[in-house]
Amino acid sequence: MKTTYIKYICAMCAICGLTACSDFLEEQVPQATLTQDEVKKPEYIDNVLISAYAGLLSIEDMNSSFSLWNYDTRSDDAYVGGADFSDGEPFHILELHTTVMTKDWPYNDIWQRFYKFLSRVSLSLDMLNEADQSNATIQQRTAEMKFLRAYGHFQLKRLFKKIPFVNKLNMTEDDYNNMSNTEYTNDEGWQQIINDLEDAYAVLPVTQSEKGRPTKAAAAAFLAKVYLYKAYHQDNANNNQVTSINEADLQKVVDYTNPSIYAAAGYGLESDMHNNFRPEEQYENGKESIWAIQYSKNDGTTWGNLNFSNRLIVPCIPKVHDSGCDFYKPSINLVNAYRTNADGLPLVATAATKDYEVGSAQTVDPRLFVTVGLPGTPYMFNTNYMMSKTNTWSRSGGKYGYFVSLKQNVDPATINEYIFNADNQWASSMNRVVFRYADVLLMRAEALAQQNKTAEAIALVNQVRERAKAMAANSVVSNYPNKYGVHFAINSYKGTYDKDAAMEIVKTERRLELAMESERFFDLVRWGDAATVINKFYTSESEKMSFLKGARFTADKNEYLPIPWEQLSASNGHYTQNCGEW
């Protein structure tokens, strides 16, 4: 990374765990040579706030990635993978949705880690509140911390639905011990996150000199996303059904995806989608990256602030990545979703009826090959690592297939440059893009489609598809037809579509564009489609992948994780379990 990113090095805070109900929070005890009064000054305040930013890297874990990839394996996009069922067993159980238990350790782990992160943000906001509120730097840093607080709450709410909100200043131990996860209705919970983001949006600058600090456009993109979740109301406490779609919330999505917001800071689509997933400095923080987690190398720490949360996804290539764990394996269903018809449009209804093979006459969308590594093509576009149906590309010996996710991995030729063997597991310095411009376009398209402005919605979908179409001639995979016998065919949608058809087009496009970016499962839940889509996936996919036999998604239960047993038992009766008879 360049020196203009914000360095996430936590040098100010010692962390101690609380007991009882407040186990999920950290007490932060500042330790520095600065006095309490000095640390509140604008020129010193970053010494405290940097701990909150550092938490984005140092608190997450390969089993509890803040990207939530571990939990996207519940969707039709990916399998858990690994060596076998015992390798990450609770995640394999969750993938099947059959015998999930409230005491399964991953759920309490991800809960605790996000609340540890929120505790750092909360400390920072307490300190900022005591500083000079008329100072522009203090105002901007407060906006940044509210953005981070929104991020922690947003990820937790997508996972658990009913969560306690750490959204008050100077909370005491009694405050923590009396927190409730039903203080707000579902709709009100989304509004708490929105309140923080609207405060941030009002103050954040159009651009930031230090990459990693959120901008006005980042707050707008985040607001659009939260309003889109809020729009699909799920306010019946007895189920997880979408009860209504709120027009006012949809209009807010349209407002916060206004192209002028993003044009002001120079955001737009990359010419090659793969540029969003490259570690080289010239590609990091590119025009499509609206806000990204800034991982780094060679920054004076033992391993640098590398991305350890994706280390399980690296394949196990002999004498190269010998300790790769091969998790987050793309599904057959996902690969088939990229098949196209004679008009260059997704097959959709018939996509799963025939499995795609490299070298076949079947036409496909070029985005397939920058999303999934397939046998017959080079891993990470390096011809020294040709993929095949061998154990090199499947640590399970084929049980979880031979496909590999490409968006989290980097070229093995860059070992010790961008990917490092850290404690016998692999970690890279590549940023993780949280909000990118293609997602903004598709969120706007979705809101417009729901408003029955279908022509406008399809035009936005076509912007994304035109980029994909151009990749056939100019991208890292543009030579694949000549070298590997693949056939690209992708075109824009033409004609007119009613609301239902336009929504299906948007949903399909979100899947194709954002696959393996940990969005699919959560999209299905907010649309109210999870049970139908996932059970259909189980039926067809289990005929090819036997480990899925017996899998069953239970509506009004499996949309969210259970509130962890450890949290319920320590809550003094203030927490309520999610619906579904856990």
Model confidence pLDDT, tens digit, residues 399-438 = 999 999 999 999 999 999 999 998 888 999 999 999 999 9
Model-level pTM?
Answer: 0.94
Q: Look at residue 303 in the predicted model and tell me its pLDDT.
A: 77
Confidence bin at 33 (pLDDT 50/70/90):
low
Closest CA to 174 of 27, 15, 28, 22: 22
Residue 37, H or E segment: helix 36-39
- Mean pLDDT, range 36-41, rounded to an integer: 70
Q: How far is the C-alpha of 424 from the C-alpha of 238, rounded, in Å?
A: 46
pLDDT digits (tens, 9 = 90+) for 276-334: 999 999 999 999 999 999 998 887 777 778 999 999 999 999 888 888 899 999 999 99
> For residue 163, is pLDDT > 60?
yes
| Strand duo 487-488 + 363-364: pairing | parallel
Q: What is the pLDDT confidence band of residue 9, given thresholds at 50, 70 and 90?
A: very low
48 confidence band (pLDDT: 50, 70, 90): confident
Write the DSSP string, 150-171.
Answer: HHHHHHHHHHHSS-----STT-
C-alpha span between 183 and 548 (Å, rounded): 38
pLDDT band, very low/low/confident/very high, at 42 (cuts 50, 70, 90)? confident
pLDDT tier at 14, thresholds 50, 70, 90: very low
**For residue range 503-559, what is the model confidence (pLDDT) as tens digits?**
999 999 999 999 999 999 999 999 999 999 999 999 999 999 999 999 999 999 999
CA distance 71 to 517: 11
Query: What mean pLDDT do residues 170-178 have?
Result: 90
pLDDT tens, position by position, 130-149: 999 999 999 999 999 999 99
Q: What is the mean pLDDT of the chain?
A: 92
Q: How confident is the model at residue 36 (pLDDT cuts 50, 70, 90)?
A: low
pLDDT 10s digits, 334-355 = 999 999 999 999 998 887 789 9
Q: Cβ neighbours of residue 94 under 8 Å, at least 6 residues apart? A: 71, 73, 74, 100, 104, 106
Which has the closest alpha carbon to 578: 230, 181, 193, 167? 181
Q: Which residue has the higher pLDDT, 452 or 49?
A: 452
> Tell me, what's the pLDDT at 22?
32
CA distance 297 to 417: 9
> Collapsing DSSP states into helix, strand and coil, what is residue 547?
helix
pLDDT at residue number 323: 80
